[in-house]
């Protein structure tokens, strides 16, 4: 078997903080070390995989663009297998990928998901994603240290809380700060907080956070708070050495794993997380915090936001009484290199850990409006991709002109994307936004209330 994949090792990803982007790069490195791999540049178009033949595998590990390989295989009569990935949940990028791939998936193709939660979500909504044609594999542990679980400080002793990741409402960072302030006050100053991450809004800038804490009536909490900004990957060990427990209350609509959860566990640090979504299959049940889903809102896949809120009373109590287990990962197998390589060879892992079914079963996605006669969205997406990455800017501007005439609105932000001299496959704020506007508008969805008596986990493969 020979593998073909986009060479993700070269692009400049400075300023792009995204776990999936890091994973793409790590996989390009892994494959070149462990397999016979033909590297190509996806942006050159169909000729990138013109050398792929029978028995070969094309690994679409370059973002939400697997539809291109499927379309090119169909158009040019290829007979290779395609292994694609889904790295975000309710986001238009990977949702559009699956819509465009659906009529082109063949027996032997495989969809890889970071968690069983994410797999269940897509199994519900795409007939082209089948149990036999999908698996859970996200190789990561082999590149992390394996430290022993550190002891949980006894109740009443100082506790160092940590938060690592984007400072955003989608990840419920406001709840992290609120719970910290309560813990600091109720413990009489025996709790501190270290935050490392990029603020995505002025309210999460250090001065604004400190001002809000002072206004909350506990100015001493400011002295025990460190807001460090982005920490590079090479300093992760220092971050985890500085904390006793990590908070991961994220219910972000795009969340499919939370690399930081695996990173913390590998460094021996316990994690407290929302009891819906990916963390359910990663952590001991004792470390999950009750969470209420937002069953009243309508969400759009073009934006990221929180799907629910953790119970702050319960989280505060867990921290103050130390009601959580030491670091432990419920199942390591899906997160090893061997599980990933086996999947590429056509022998994907079968067993899955128990996982959340409350959230994926609650999602109700609005149907896609019917396409007009003769419309081929896969071909349109292919053409737009090549026009954009091969710098045929006049063609993209012409498409935006037609869109503005049709909708009565000309979006300057889309024009700026085209006028930017940079073209970066790793920038999900660029081409996917053009795809949203010109080919497949983002769908909307709601969350239905859970039936009375429904459990929140299932013990095996859905």
Tens digit of pLDDT for each residue in 274-309? Answer: 999 999 999 999 999 999 999 999 999 999 999 999
User: Is residue 147 a contact partner of residue 268, using CB atoms and an 8 Å limit?
Assistant: yes
φ/ψ (deg, to 5) at 272: -110, 130
Query: Percent of the chain, pLDDT > 90?
Result: 80
271: β partners: 246
Mean pLDDT across 303-317: 97
Look at residue 420 and tell me whether its pLDDT is greater than 70.
yes
Do 170 and 120 share a structural domain? Answer: no
pLDDT tier at 461 (50, 70, 90 boundaries)?
A: very low
User: Is residue 59 a contact partner of residue 5, using CB atoms and an 8 Å limit?
Assistant: yes
Do 312 and 224 share a structural domain? Answer: yes
Mean pLDDT across 318-345: 94
- Condensed to tens digits (0 to 9), the pLDDT of residues 73-121 reads 999 999 999 999 999 999 999 999 999 999 999 999 999 999 999 999 9
Tally the C-alpha atoms within 13 A of residue 315's C-alpha that lie toward its C-beta.
28
Instruction: Tokens 């178009």: give the residue.
Output: 45
Q: What 8-state DSSP symbol labels residue 85? A: E
Do 96 and 175 share a structural domain? Answer: no
Look at residue 14 and tell me whether its pLDDT is greater than 90.
no
Do 299 and 384 share a structural domain? Answer: no
pLDDT tier at 368 (50, 70, 90 boundaries)?
A: very high
Look at residue 12 and tell me whether its pLDDT is greater than 70.
no
Tally the C-alpha atoms within 13 A of residue 195's C-alpha that lie toward its C-beta.
25
User: Is residue 314 a contact partner of residue 288, using CB atoms and an 8 Å limit?
Assistant: no
- Please give the C-alpha separations between residue 431 and each of 87, 329, 364, 395, in angstroms, as whole numbers: 17, 36, 26, 14
Specify if 372 maps to a domain.
no
Do 393 and 342 share a structural domain? Answer: no
Do 409 and 286 share a structural domain? Answer: no
φ/ψ (deg, to 5) at 413: -65, -35
Say whether pTM exceeds 0.85.
yes
Residue 404's domain comprises 377-439
Specify if 359 maps to a domain.
no
pLDDT at 418: 96
Look at residue 15 and tell me whether its pLDDT is greater than 60.
no
CB-based contacts of 41, cutoff 8 Å, min separation 6: 6, 7, 48
Look at residue 360 and tell me whether its pLDDT is greater than 50.
yes
Number of separate domains in the chain: 3
58: β partners: 4, 82
Do 231 and 129 share a structural domain? Answer: no
Both tokens of 378, joined, read: 């896969």
Look at residue 462 and tell me whether its pLDDT is greater than 80.
no
């Amino acid at each position: 078997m020979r593998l073909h994949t986009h060479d993700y090792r070269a692009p400049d990803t400075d300023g792009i903080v995204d776990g999936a982007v890091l994973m793409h790069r790590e996989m390009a490195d892994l494959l070149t070390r462990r397999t016979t791999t033909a590297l190509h540049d996806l942006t050159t178009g169909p000729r990138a995989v013109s050398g792929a033949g029978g028995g070969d595998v094309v690994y679409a590990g370059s973002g939400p663009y697997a539809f291109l390989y499927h379309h090119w295989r169909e158009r040019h009569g290829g007979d290779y297998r395609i292994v694609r990935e889904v790295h975000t949940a309710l986001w238009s990028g990977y949702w559009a990928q699956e819509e465009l791939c659906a009529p082109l998936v063949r027996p032997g193709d495989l969809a890889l998901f970071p968690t069983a939660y994410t797999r269940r979500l897509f199994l519900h909504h795409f007939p082209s994603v089948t149990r036999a044609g999908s698996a859970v594999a996200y190789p990561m542990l082999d590149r992390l240290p394996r430290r022993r679980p550190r002891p949980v400080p006894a109740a009443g002793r100082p506790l160092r809380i940590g938060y690592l990741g984007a400072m955003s409402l989608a990840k419920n960072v406001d709840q992290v700060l609120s719970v910290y302030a309560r813990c600091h006050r109720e413990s009489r100053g025996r709790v501190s907080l270290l935050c490392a991450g990029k603020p995505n809004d002025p309210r999460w800038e250090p001065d604004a956070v400190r001002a809000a804490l002072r206004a909350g009536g506990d100015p001493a909490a400011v002295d025990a708070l460190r807001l460090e900004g982005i920490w590079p990957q090479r300093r992760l060990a220092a971050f985890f050495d500085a904390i006793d427990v990590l908070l991961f209350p994220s219910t972000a609509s795009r969340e499919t794993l939370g690399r930081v959860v695996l990173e913390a566990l590998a460094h021996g640090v316990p994690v407290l997380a929302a009891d819906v979504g990916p963390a359910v299959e990663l952590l001991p049940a004792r470390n999950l915090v009750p969470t209420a889903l937002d069953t009243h809102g309508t969400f759009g896949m073009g934006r990221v936001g929180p799907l629910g809120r953790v119970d702050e009373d319960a989280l505060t109590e867990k921290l103050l009484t130390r009601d959580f287990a030491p670091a432990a990962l419920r199942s390591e197998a899906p997160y090893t290199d061997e599980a990933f390589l086996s999947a590429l060879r056509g022998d994907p892992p079968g067993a899955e850990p128990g996982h959340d079914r409350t959230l994926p079963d609650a999602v109700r996605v609005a149907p896609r409006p019917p396409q007009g006669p003769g419309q081929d969205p896969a071909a349109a997406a292919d053409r737009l991709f090549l026009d954009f990455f091969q710098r045929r800017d006049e063609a993209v501007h012409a498409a935006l002109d037609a869109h503005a005439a049709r909708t009565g609105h000309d979006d300057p932000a889309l024009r700026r994307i085209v006028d930017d001299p940079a073209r970066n496959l790793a920038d999900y704020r660029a081409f996917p936004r053009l795809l949203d506007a010109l080919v497949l508008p983002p769908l909307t969805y709601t969350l239905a209330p859970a039936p009375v008596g429904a459990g929140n986990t299932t013990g095996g493969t859905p």
